[in-house]
Structure 1
Amino acid sequence: MIEFRDVCMRFDDKDALKHISLTINDGETLAIIGGSGSGKSTFLRLLIGLIKPTSGQILIDGQDIVPMSEAELNKVRLKMGMVFQYSALFDSMTVGENVAFGLREHTKLSDA
């Protein structure tokens, strides 16, 4: 289970997210939609621990992710699938290699 508890994110003097509280249960799918500048990418970056909230807590299975090590965060990230607003593909890689980018092992589509 993922919980956002009164999460706020501020960049310089501008609020990106204000007082976000929600629960995502195991196995649920969540779509984040909104206009440009509405905080979608900020929400996802917070969720995977790329940035830390200005205030509030983000808990995964009851554990606050803010003090997690990079190794612990990587274990959490492996359990999630995300598509950001702007994604990049590497021309020198196959589709399978692009999808598996960052994983230690992957199967080429031609091997499947």
Structure 2
Amino acid sequence: MDQAATNAICAAFAGAVLEFPFGAVPNVWKVGNKIFAITNAPNGVSLKCADAGTAEMLIDLGRAKKAPYLPRGGWVLIEWDSMEADEVAERLATSYACVRASLTKKQQAAIG
């Protein structure tokens, strides 16, 4: 998995918006103005897990690291080539779904 493949997955989610608040790198993906993924941050993708327990498990197993600059409580950094592409895609989908579910009903309806 790399940044281009990760960006392609993120772009396919309804209402996903790519922003560059810190310059060309990292790429910040948002839904409803809330971050669900940051690619190449650094040399991987930061994303939200379904819960803090899942994040801790991935960190304890050495499959992920604590995401830099993001709050505890479920955010991890998955370095490129540390997971199979299909697992990263699944974790991106989970991150997107978790963040989207935190939006108001009106925001969710606007996304479609």
- The interval holding the TM-score normalised by the smaller chain is under 0.3
Normalising to structure 1: TM-score of the pair? 0.26
Structure whose alpha-carbon radius of gyration is higher:
1
